[in-house]
Chains A and B, each alone.
Chain A
Amino acid sequence: SQTIHQWPATLVQPVGSPLSLECTVEGTSNPNLYWYRQAAGRGLQLLFYSVGIGQISSEVPQNLSASRPQDRQFILSSKKLLLSDSGFYLCAWSRGYTYNEQFFGPGTRLTVL
Chain B
Amino acid sequence: AQTVTQSQPEMSVQEAETVTLSCTYDTSENNYYLFWYKQPPSRQMILVIRQEAYKQQNATENRFSVNFQKAAKSFSLKISDSQLGDTAMYFCAFMKRNTGTASKLTFGTGTRLQVTL
With A and B bound together, what is the CA distance between A44 and B101 in angstroms? 20
Residue of A nearest to B45 (CB): A104
Residues of A within 8 A of B43 (CB): 88, 106-107, 109
* With A88-B43, A101-B47 as contacts: A94 and B103 at CB distance below 8 Å: yes
Is B33 on the interface with A (CB-CB < 8 A)? yes
In this complex, the interface size class of chain B, counting residues with CB under 8 Å from chain A, is 20 to 34
Q: Is the CB of B44 within 8 A of A98?
A: no
Residues of B within 8 A of A102 (CB): 103, 105
Q: Is the CB of A49 within 8 A of B50?
A: no
Would you give the shortest CB distance from B86 to chain A, in whole angstroms?
19
Overall SS of chain B's interface: loop
Q: Is the CB of B95 within 8 A of A100?
A: yes
Q: Which of B56-64, B76-84, B106-114 contacts A (4 or more CB under 8 A)?
A: B106-114
Residues of B within 8 A of A88 (CB): 43
Would you give the shortest CB distance from A42 to chain B, in whole angstroms?
6
* With A106-B44, A107-B43, A107-B44 as contacts: A98 and B105 at CB distance below 8 Å: no
Q: Is the CB of A51 within 8 A of B108?
A: no
Is B100 on the interface with A (CB-CB < 8 A)? yes
Interface pairs A-B: 3 shortest CB-CB = A104-B45, A43-B107, A100-B103
Q: Is the CB of B102 within 8 A of A34?
A: yes
Residues of A within 8 A of B109 (CB): 42-43
Q: Is the CB of B45 within 8 A of A94?
A: no
Q: Is the CB of A57 within 8 A of B50?
A: no
* With A43-B91, A44-B91 as contacts: A98 and B107 at CB distance below 8 Å: no
With A and B bound together, what is the CA distance between A94 and B109 in angstroms? 22
Binary contact readout A26-63 vs B (1 if CB under 8 angstroms, 0 otherwise): 00000010101000001111100111000001010000
Q: Is the CB of A99 within 8 A of B45?
A: no
Would you give the shortest CB distance from A57 to chain B, in whole angstroms?
7
Is A90 on the interface with B (CB-CB < 8 A)? yes
Q: Which of B24-80 contact A (CB under 8 A)?
A: 33, 42-47, 50
With A and B bound together, what is the CA distance between A32 and B95 in angstroms? 14
Is A18 on the interface with B (CB-CB < 8 A)? no
Q: Is the CB of A43 within 8 A of B100?
A: no
